[in-house]
A and B are shown apart, each in its own frame.
Chain A
Amino acid sequence: EIVLTQSPTTMAASPGEKVTITCRASSSVSYMHWYQQKPGASPKPWIYDTSKLASGVPNRFSGSGSGTSYSLTISSMETEDTATYYCQQWSSNSPTFGAGTKLELK
């Protein structure tokens, strides 16, 4: 099983601040996918195939990476971005998720 380690676990950002969330894989993966989840709601696909924005996702979000290191970046934090973000891979037989990064507003 490929283990995904996200960092940080929790962070707070001010409006307008740049935010970067990292996801490291225990073995090389071909793509990384990201989800946004708000309390009481289902996860929403946010970034897929490492860098493609899902429908409706603002273009202040971007994704990048390769091999064992991937990241999600928000160019300018907005209030609505407060949520938990999860990375996910399916390069191995079984998909796995990172433990999540809770992003709060400072």
Chain B
Amino acid sequence: EVQLQQSGPEVGRPGSSVKISCKASGYTFTDYVMNWVKQSPGQGLEWIGWIDPEYGSTDYAEKFKKKATLTADTSSSTAYIQLSSLTSEDTATYFCALTGSSYYFDYWGQGVMVTVSS
């Protein structure tokens, strides 16, 4: 059974960075691209970017190119997203999600709430 287990809630001060994780199990980690999706409170879904764990290649939505950094550790089957220069606009829930061959998000993590507060 595919599972994506994300780390716990984070609180970050304005201007700081946070790094959240997504530990994958139930499949071969390097076989699928890992995506990250943002959901601001009471709002819709925004795609942040993806990482190919096998090659380390990444792609980002234009809006997040200076905000997010995606990495992956194949030894622990864990994907990470680091959010930098935090502002109140970054307060949101962040999901990791797998993409298969049909280009939709077929497995999701439980989400991590990031709160930016001084």
Contact = CB atoms under 8 A, between A and B. Distances in A.
A99 to B, nearest CB: 5
B44 A99 contact: yes
A86 B45 contact: yes
Using C-beta atoms within 8 Å of the partner chain, give the interface range for chain B: 10 to 19
B108 interface: yes
Interface string A1-38: 10000000000000000000000000000010101000
25 contacts: A31-B102, A31-B103, A33-B103, A35-B105, A42-B95, A42-B108, A42-B109, A42-B111, A43-B45, A44-B108, A48-B104, A49-B102, A86-B44, A86-B45, A88-B45, A88-B105, A90-B99, A94-B47, A94-B62, A95-B35, A95-B47, A96-B47, A97-B45, A100-B44, A100-B45
Given A88-B45, A90-B99, A95-B47, 8 more contacts: A31-B103, A42-B95, A43-B95, A43-B108, A49-B104, A86-B44, A86-B45, A100-B45
Interface of A: 1, 31, 33, 35, 42-45, 48-49, 54, 86, 88, 90, 93-100
